Chain A
Amino acid sequence: MRRVVITGCGVVTAAGTELEGFWNALMDGTCFIRPLQHFSYYDMPALLGAEVELAPEDGKGLGSDATTSRARCAQLANAAVERALSDAAMMPVCDPDRTGVIFGSTLGEEREVGDLSERWVRNGPDDFGDEFWVRCDNHRLASRIAGEHGIGGPVQFCAAACSSGNAAVAFAYDLVSSGAADVMIAGGADALTRSIYCGFERMGALSKSICRPFDRRRDGVSFGEGAGVVVLETLEHANRRNAPRIYAEIAGYGMSNDAHHITAPDPNGEGFARAMKQALHSTLAPFDEIDYISPHGTGTLYNDRSECRAIKSVFGDRARHIPVSSVKSMIGHTNGAAGAIETVVCALALTHQAVPPTANLNDPDPECDLDCVPLVGRALPIQACLNLAAGFGGFNVCLVLKRVQ
């Protein structure tokens, strides 16, 4: 097995689209969940969420799509990829045939489908060309990136709902560690869409105000849009090309499926726990080496409780001493992007030796009796951390990141 390290990070989130500003905003505990300016649905007035401001050049590579809101997911993905590759000093990519892309998304090009559906209802089928066939193929999220950068290795679209970002990083790790690729660009992206707001509203899982993970008053999810991307390569490859920096090592991952309910997590957190145990087992990391956990932490009643139970079941008495913080309290739940963005957060935490807070956590839920880092970030020594994600259908992925000495 080859050692796999993160040498480039890119994020586009409401908290910033450059790493330094993003990290500083998170450490300050600033909440970016606000009334939406650029997205609306007539049947749900005054939507809240965390929107991203993209620069005009972020449409690069999308051709005419960049001028429309339809291709928002691709815009976000491309913008994060450009930043990650630039951060890794990989413009252009070094060996295109040994480089690949894995992207994940919960909703994919749903805005495209929504736009086309609206046109179909309004104008009928005669108004259509090849759009459904061409625009609604989610593989385009990954293939467009690969095409733009001349990449010839494996290029995949992985759909694992809100664990898609973590799954993309995990499978990219497999490809690099096994020798199938030398470099992988892995990430997730999602835009705000009509169906996700409506779906969560009808499930009673959409927050009426702002997301408050682990708080007694939490009332559900706040959505955000965004993308997160990491560049993975072997440690040896990174050293050989004098990569400007190594953020962290991906030491392994675990995965599990609840097989419990299409939307609700297993209330006992048994699936979360299995994913964590498998991740720790895969890395041979002693449990006491884990100094930080980035949880799924969506702010729903069920998720937070079940996740805390899982952490306690895995770490026993030590669980209460491990900082656990959810950045979804600041940038919203970015769905399929969340795992990838939080991988970047973990990489930055290892680099800065500090952890971001859980914002809006004023009145901790006694059932979530962990150290949830309320309100303000904290400096502390971190050798290794876990990044947990879960999705509809019950698929859980847990990554282990370690500091590279």
Chain B
Amino acid sequence: MSASHADPDGAIVITGVSVLTPLADDVPSLLTALHARRNAMVEAPDILGAAVSRIEPFVATQYANVRGLRVYNRTMQLGICAAKLALSDAQLDPTDIPSDEFGIVAASTFGHMDTLIEYDRSLMTHGLQRTNPTLMPLAIPSAPGAVAGLSFGAKAFTLTLANGAASSLDALGLGLRFLSDARARVCVVVAAFANCRELILSAARAGALTRPQDVLVFDSRSRGTGLGEASAAIVLERAENARARDVPAKGVLRGHVSTFAPRTCDRSDALKRACEGALRCAGSVPGDIALVSAGANGIPDRDLAEAEGIHAALGKACANAAVIAIKGNLGEVVDAGGLLQVITALESLRSRTAPPIRGLERPVESNLRFVRETAPISATDALVTSMSNTGACSALVVSGGHAF
């Protein structure tokens, strides 16, 4: 997938952002936590040695008061709350937007699964007549996007992408395309991941999870990741719409490309192609990149492939680009990862400081400039990268709001 907007007159800008994580539920506090190297990971209650995180307490109605919220599962609630917060940040009341000019793209791979498991088990154990019928439409993969669309009355489009950890960058790419093609004036891209016991157990037994203190990214000592709960949302608008509302742009989406690695050994090449494509779409060159917000999660071969892919794409310009990786603090937040990486990148560009990679002591062999201590950054563009378990790779170029 690729989409671009290097043309400033038709730019697609970011006017609202939100985060819901175990470390913070607002962007400044999240950045403070990242700079302080806080770790959200704890040991799963009944699975020894498996790092997980959970937002506690999480009371959805504190963030959003929309119809049906209580019957939605945790992932859907997290998504709706993040969307609501991002709309507020963008100073947008959904009822003020013409509903057919307002769309939602959700990123959620497993967001329907615990409802499906509940529904399916009930059918098995209680039979058809004693199973709650309202669960069924919430038990299908499109449900996270559908409920967000219903909650906010979005009539331009609502759909869900399920590309694992690449989902939310791809969702931003799709939002960028839809707005560029004038299919809407405003698009909320929302992503959420909530842990359920089945997923944690399966990931642990797949050998993907390590102990909370050992979730180390881009570190040669790393042995695995943790599964982190989080959601985030970004409000995209056509620039003229933001201008007409007199709302400042927090960032500009410049270009996005997604690729695929048909074999595990092709991952670094696939990511390199995605990065090069995103730079091309953005009309940027590697030297423009001040910051790389990577999706590395602590799984050794993935981190290595990502480092190699970024290095291959940026070449000598690697020396100028600070590389950050928030999953050292938050764990593998799957669909939510890309949006959180973008938001962290934007805040870093704004403050001109990049947060350190938590716990990084022995970086994997590469020529990348990993941020080990809070570091200053000078240029205005960031490259954001992600890779899914299944081989999807995604890269996006974003500029800080002051570039607009």
- B327–chain A nearest beta-carbon distance, Å: 17
- With CB as the reference atom, state the residue of chain A lying closest to B141: A159
Contact of B137 among A101, A157, A199, A256 (CB under 8 A): A199
- Whether A138 contacts B162 by the Cβ 8 Å rule is yes
Query: A118's closest neighbor in chain B, by CB?
Result: B124
Interface residues of A: mostly helix, strand, loop or mixed?
mixed
CA distance A97 to B392 in the complex (A): 13
Cβ-defined contact, B123 with A271, below 8 A:
no
Is B379 interfacial (CB 8 A cutoff)?
no
Contact of A43 with B163 in the complex, beta carbons under 8 Å: no
Interface residues of B in 168-211 (CB under 8 A from A): 170, 174, 177, 181, 183, 197-199, 201-203, 205-208
Q: Is the CB of B100 within 8 A of A274?
A: yes
Of B142, B262, B389, the residue contacting A106 (CB under 8 A) is B142
Q: Is the CB of B109 within 8 A of A195?
A: no
Instruction: State which residues 97-135 of B face A: CB under 8 Å.
Output: 99-100, 103, 109-110, 113, 116-117, 119-121, 123-125, 127-129, 131, 133
A-side contacts of B139, CB under 8 Å = 195, 199
Q: How large is the interface on B (under 10, 10 to 19, 20 to 34, 35 or more residues)?
A: 35 or more
Provided the pairs A137-B164, A256-B157 are in contact, do residues A202 and B140 lie with their beta carbons within 8 angstroms? Answer: no
**Which of A96, A143, A159 contacts B142, CB < 8 Å?**
A159
Given contacts A132-B201, A159-B140, A262-B146, contact A203 B391 (CB under 8 A): no
Residue of A nearest to B165 (CB): A139
Nearest opposing residue in chain B for A117, CB measure: B120
Given contacts A132-B201, A160-B159, contact A113 B390 (CB under 8 A): no
Render A177-206 as a binary contact track against B, CB cut-off 8 A, 1 for contact. Answer: 011110000000000001110110111000
Given A139-B390, A178-B177, A153–B259 Cβ distance below 8 Å? yes
Contact B258 A392 (CB under 8 A): no
Report whether A152 and B270 are in contact in the complex, using a CB–CB cutoff of 8 Å. yes
Interface size band for A = 35 or more
Provide the residues of chain B in CB contact with A136, threshold 8 Å.
110, 113
B163: chain A residues within 8 A (beta carbon): 139, 155-157
User: Once the chains bind, are B149 and A394 in contact (CB under 8 Å)?
Assistant: yes
B259 and A154 within 8 A (CB): yes
> Is B391 touching A158 in the complex (CB atoms < 8 A)?
no
B273 at the interface (CB under 8 A from A): yes
A43 to B120, CA, bound (A): 13
Q: Are A392 and B262 in contact (CB under 8 A)?
A: no
Question: Which residues of chain B have C-beta atoms less than 8 A from A171's C-beta?
Answer: 1, 174
Q: Does A357 contact B (CB under 8 A)?
A: no
Complex Cα spacing A149 to B99, Å: 41
Query: B267 CB to closest chain A CB, in angstroms?
Result: 11
Distance in angstroms between the alpha carbons of A259 and B149 in the assembled complex: 6
Nearest residue in B to A96 (C-beta to C-beta)? B262
Would B120 and A194 count as touching, CB distance under 8 A?
Answer: yes
CB-CB under 8 A for A125 and B201, given A152-B273, A154-B260, A394-B146: yes
**Which chain A residues numbered 77 to 133 have a C-beta less than 8 Å away from chain B?**
96-97, 100-101, 105-108, 110, 113-114, 116-118, 120-121, 125, 128-133
Instruction: Please name all residues of chain B whose beta carbon is closer than 8 Å to the beta carbon of A164 when the two chains form the complex.
Output: 142
Q: Is A316 an interface residue (CB 8 A)?
A: no
User: Is the beta-carbon distance between B273 and A97 smaller than 8 angstroms?
Assistant: yes
Asked if A175 is an interface residue, CB under 8 A from chain B, the answer is yes
A-side contacts of B260, CB under 8 Å:
100-101, 143, 146, 151-155
In angstroms, Cα B133 to Cα A394, docked, is: 18
Compute how far the CA of A357 lies from the CA of B153 in the bound complex, rounded to whole angstroms. Answer: 36
Q: What residue in chain A is nearest B121 (Cβ atoms)?
A: A117
Which one, B136, B150, B197, contacts A195 given CB within 8 A?
B136
What 0/1 readout, one digit per residue, does chain A (254-267) give for beta carbons within 8 Å of chain B?
01111101110000
The answer on a CB contact under 8 Å between B258 and A202 is no
Say which residue of A128, A143, A393 sits within 8 Å of B146 (CB atoms): A393
Contact of A107 among B1, B140, B149, B270 (CB under 8 A): B140
The chain B residue sitting closest to A256, CB to CB, is: B155
Is A113 touching B113 in the complex (CB atoms < 8 A)?
A: yes
What B residues does A18 contact at CB under 8 A? none
Q: Which residues of the partner chain A approach B391 to less than 8 Å between Cβ atoms?
A: 143, 146-147, 155
**Closest residue on chain A to residue B2 by CB atoms:** A180
Verify if A167 is at the interface (C-beta below 8 Å from B): yes
Contacts of A175 in B (CB 8 A): 1-2
Task: Report chain B residues within 8 Å CB of A108.
Answer: 140-141, 162
Residues of chain A within 8 A of B129, CB atoms compared: 43
Which A residues touch B270, using CB under 8 A? 152
Query: Are the CB atoms of B257 and A180 closer together than 8 Å?
Result: yes
B343 proximity list for chain A (CB < 8 A):
none
B51 at the interface (CB under 8 A from A): no
Instruction: Establish whether residues B202 and A133, one from each chain, have CB atoms under 8 Å apart when the complex forms.
Output: yes
CB pair A257 B262 closer than 8 Å = no
B145 within 8 A of A: yes
The yes or no answer to A305 lying at the interface (CB within 8 A) is no
Interface presence of A391 (CB below 8 A): yes
How far is it, in angstroms, between the C-alpha of A259 and the C-alpha of B155 when the chains are bound?
6
Q: Does residue B305 face the partner (Cβ distance < 8 Å to A)?
A: no
Shortest distance from the beta carbon of B87 to any chain A beta carbon, whole Å: 15
Is B133 a contact of A271 with CB atoms below 8 Å? no
A195 to B258, CA, bound (A): 33
5 pairs across A/B with beta carbons < 8 Å?
A152-B266, A159-B140, A174-B177, A202-B136, A393-B143
For the complex of A and B, list the 5 residue pairs with the smallest distance between their C-beta atoms, beginning with the closest: A393-B146, A199-B136, A130-B206, A180-B2, A133-B202
B: residues with CB less than 8 A from A are 1-3, 68, 99-100, 103, 109-110, 113, 116-117, 119-121, 123-125, 127-129, 131, 133, 136-143, 145-147, 149-150, 153-164, 170, 174, 177, 181, 183, 197-199, 201-203, 205-208, 257-263, 266, 269-270, 273, 388-392
Q: Which residues of A contact B (CB under 8 A)?
A: 41, 43-44, 96-97, 100-101, 105-108, 110, 113-114, 116-118, 120-121, 125, 128-134, 136-140, 143, 146-147, 149-161, 164, 167, 171, 174-175, 178-181, 194-196, 198-199, 201-203, 255-259, 261-263, 271, 274, 278, 391-395
